[in-house]
Amino acid sequence: MATSSPSKSAQPIDALIVGAGFAGMYMLHKLRGLGFNASVLEAGSGVGGTWYWNRYPGARVDIQSLEYSFGFDEELEKDWRWSERYAPQPELLKYAEHVAERFDLKRDIRFNTRVTAAHWDEAAQVWKVETDKGEAMRCRHLILATGCLSIPTDVTFPGLDTYKGDIYRTSRWPHEGVDFSGKRVGIIGTGSSAIQSIPIIAQQAEQLTVFQRTPNYSMPAHNGPIPEADFQAWAKDPRAYRAASRDTVGGFQNEPSEAMATATAPEEIHAELERRWAWGGFRILGAFADTAVDPEANRIVQEFVAGKIRQQVADPAVAEKLTPKDHPFGTKRPCVDTGYYATFNRPNVELVDLRAEPLAGFTAEGIKTSAKDYAFDAVVLATGFDAMTGAIDRIDLRGVGGRRIKDHWAEGPRTYLGLMVAGFPNLFTITGPGSPSVLTNMINSIEQHVEWIADCLVSLKQRQQTSIEASPEAEAAWCRHSTEAVTPTMLPQANSWYMGANVPGKPRMFMPYAGGLNTYTEICRQVVAKGYEGFIIRQGDRVLSESRAFTSQPAPGEIPENLLPIIMGRLMAAGLLPAE
Ligand code: N01
């Protein structure tokens, strides 16, 4: 850590925010409005975060835009009109720019600046922060708005550096765009980024070869202009609409049903799944209450989607390869597409199943599998992210006693409420691991976190308190509660990025909080109402209030009777309930 700096002698600022995506932008606006001295450091050259970096063809949001937009300012809400049901990336970026301009945010954002280190100075009760520009600064509160899917995995392939063609990553797409006309293109990966870009690249390229290791479930977006009835339902009372969205498990309105697939007649199941498939997007996830926990119920949805793949793909052998078999429906992040499966009917598109012919590496001309050499003018890597922890543990982050976050998280990310980490005072994460984040509509989760953190800073200031820190006991209790929330579901059964399974050597742990945004919001509210339960609050080195327990768990909603044996069984097997 550098010791000399132009700003070393200056007063520490109240809050330094890392990242100028939607989270960092709103955090800045909120804190400034409350009279705090705050600024943002951003690695990119503009605002927008995810929507700044992921400019690949076909990138668009897959929560409806009416819900995937800020609700904190009524005028902003009224002024902005989305052009499509699921806005494309350029429009989302324009929206981010619009928000930055409207609230004059850029004057407090330093672009092209990456935070490399942050060390807690116990004596001064400040964070000492360093950047890749060699600057050092000090802040009372450090707020990481670094995004859950912002650092691409370090995936490398043998011979990659010998390949003579062009290489593109979906998550670092050139700002000027790429024209694939007349080109032979290969793409590795079949996650959301690939599933969105493949249909567009196929239209441009002379030949597109898709290298698939694991097929995913994808539902049609049925994108288009926002239906007038949907817009009117939103416009008649956007506040109420938004409140209803927040009061859901996923932070968006998805018509959750309490019906059990296993207790419903086959023709009724089929009609309901068809109705939701026709509506599009994630709507099918809410069709039955038992699909997330009961393998039998899940199989019904799996078979329905497999049937849809067969309907869309002309060649039965290709349809078979595109059908997921190794994970239950919904246990990896499902995708939302526009013409993905039908793209495999094009004469210029080929699917390579890497389970049948494993990828051996790159050659000067292209990609080599165990079966064949493929020649390409360009290769697209849609290989995913070091999710949830990647952006945080790439910072040399050290808390009390110089403890590194990487060491603290050696067994997986441990947090209290996904907001704070024991031993790291005045460090906040927005939509961090341990919070609902990626399982929800991110904007609603971001707003809830920003508002919680802002309220916390106001409370500290009013009481002249200098630091807040999660107690180790509360952190442990939150981790246990998070495990209890996810264990009854089948979510941990997939090799997903939720589990850290896509990064070799990363500890396996289900990272987001699976208890639902509505439940989580209520827990956060109760924690505050109990005087910041589970937090240690100090003034200088004096402990002013110390609450070590975490008890704020709302009673679970009524659990349907036929799910109880499955849920109890899984909790017992995991040692979370005493076996009878
Ligand atoms: O990444 P992914 P993504 N050899 O991890 C494959 C969000 N998102 O960027 O499954 C061969 O899903 C890997 O194969 P496998 C969304 O939350 C949102 O697509 O590990 N293949 C997989 O197929 C999403 O879930 C939106 O066997 C390799 C693919 O690469 C998350 O971001 C849009 C490989 C990676 O898929 C991540 O999506 C886009 C290798 N060595 C993204 N390494 C919207 O909101 C990896 N793969 C619309």
Residues 6+ apart with CB under 8 A from 525: none
Q: How far is the CA of 216 from the centre of ligand 1 (A)?
A: 9
What is the four-CA torsion angle of 500, 502, 503, 508, rounded to 10 degrees?
A: 30
What b/e string do you get for 126-155 counting C-beta neighbours within 10 Å, with b at 16 or more?
A: bbbbbbeeebbbbbbbbbbbbbbbbbbbeb
- Count how many residues are written for the chain: 580
Q: How far is the CA of 125 from the centre of ligand 1 (A)?
A: 40
pLDDT at 1: 56
Q: Which atom of ligand 1 is nearest to the CA of 195?
A: 19
Q: Whose CA is nearest to atom 10 of ligand 1?
A: 214
pLDDT at 4: 36
Could you read off the pLDDT of 217-270 as tens digits, one per residue?
999 999 999 999 889 999 999 999 999 999 999 999 999 999 999 999 999 999
Q: How far is the CA of 381 from the centre of ligand 1 (A)?
A: 10
Q: Which residues, given as ranges, of the chain have pLDDT below 50?
A: 2-9
Q: Whose CA is nearest to atom 1 of ligand 1?
A: 384
Q: Which atom of ligand 1 is nearest to the CA of 383?
A: 30
pLDDT at 580: 58
**Best residue among 379, 383, 441 to mutate for probing ligand 1, ranked by most atoms within 8 Å of CB:** 383
- The most distant pair of C-alpha atoms in the chain lies apart, rounded to whole Å, by 73
Query: Which is it for strands 378-381 and 542-546: parallel, antiparallel or unpaired?
Result: unpaired
Q: How many CA atoms lie within 13 A of 554 on its CB side?
A: 15
Find where tokens 């309490």 sit.
258
Helix (H) or strand (E) holding 120: strand 115-121
Q: How far is the CA of 236 from the centre of ligand 1 (A)?
A: 38
Q: Please report, for residues 110, 116, 134, 333, 562, the alpha-carbon distance to residue 113 in angstroms, rounded to integers and kept in the order given.
A: 6, 9, 10, 31, 54
Q: How far is the CA of 465 from the centre of ligand 1 (A)?
A: 43
Angle, helix 22-33 to helix 442-462, in steps of 10 degrees:
30
Query: Could you give the CA distance from residue 117 to residue 446 in angstroms, rounded to a whole number?
Result: 24
pLDDT at 546: 82
Q: Which residues line ligand 1 (CB under 6 A)?
A: 60-62, 149, 155, 170, 188-194, 196, 213-214, 333, 354, 359, 382-385, 438, 497, 502
How far is the first Cα of the chain from the last one, in angstroms, to the nearest whole number?
54
Q: Which atom of ligand 1 is nearest to the CA of 497?
A: 5
**Best residue among 213, 223, 336 to mutate for probing ligand 1, ranked by most atoms within 8 Å of CB:** 213
542-546 β-sheet, strand order: 467-470, 535-539, 542-546
Task: Count other Cβ atoms within 10 Å, centred on residue 70.
Answer: 20
| DSSP track, 426-471 | TEEETT-TTSSGGGS-HHHHHHHHHHHHHHHHHHHHHTT--EEEE-
**Contact in structure between 45 and 111 (CB atoms under 8 Å):** yes
Q: How far is the CA of 384 from the centre of ligand 1 (A)?
A: 4
Q: How far is the CA of 189 from the centre of ligand 1 (A)?
A: 6
**Best residue among 332, 335, 439, 502 to mutate for probing ligand 1, ranked by most atoms within 8 Å of CB:** 502
List 169's β-bridge partners, or say none: 381
Find where tokens 């995936």 sit.
155
Q: Which atom of ligand 1 is nearest to the CA of 170?
A: 9
Q: Please report, for residues 52, 385, 488, the alpha-carbon distance to residue 497 in angstroms, rounded to integers and kept in the order given.
A: 22, 8, 19
Q: How far is the CA of 155 from the centre of ligand 1 (A)?
A: 12
Q: How far is the CA of 10 from the centre of ligand 1 (A)?
A: 44
Q: Whose CA is nearest to atom 25 of ligand 1?
A: 333
Q: How far is the CA of 457 from the centre of ligand 1 (A)?
A: 36
Q: Which atom of ligand 1 is nearest to the CA of 502?
A: 20
- DSSP, res 160: G
Helix (H, G, I), strand (E, B) or coil at 374: strand
Query: Could you give the CA distance from residue 263 to residue 283 in angstroms, rounded to a whole number?
Result: 20
pTM of the model: 0.96
Query: Which is it for strands 207-212 and 184-188: parallel, antiparallel or unpaired?
Result: parallel
Query: Could you give the CA distance from residue 247 to residue 157 in angstroms, rounded to a whole number?
Result: 44
In 271-390, beta strands by DSSP E: 335-337, 349-353, 359-362, 366-369, 373-375, 378-381
Dihedral sign computed on CA atoms, order 451, 424, 18, 145: negative
Q: How far is the CA of 330 from the centre of ligand 1 (A)?
A: 15
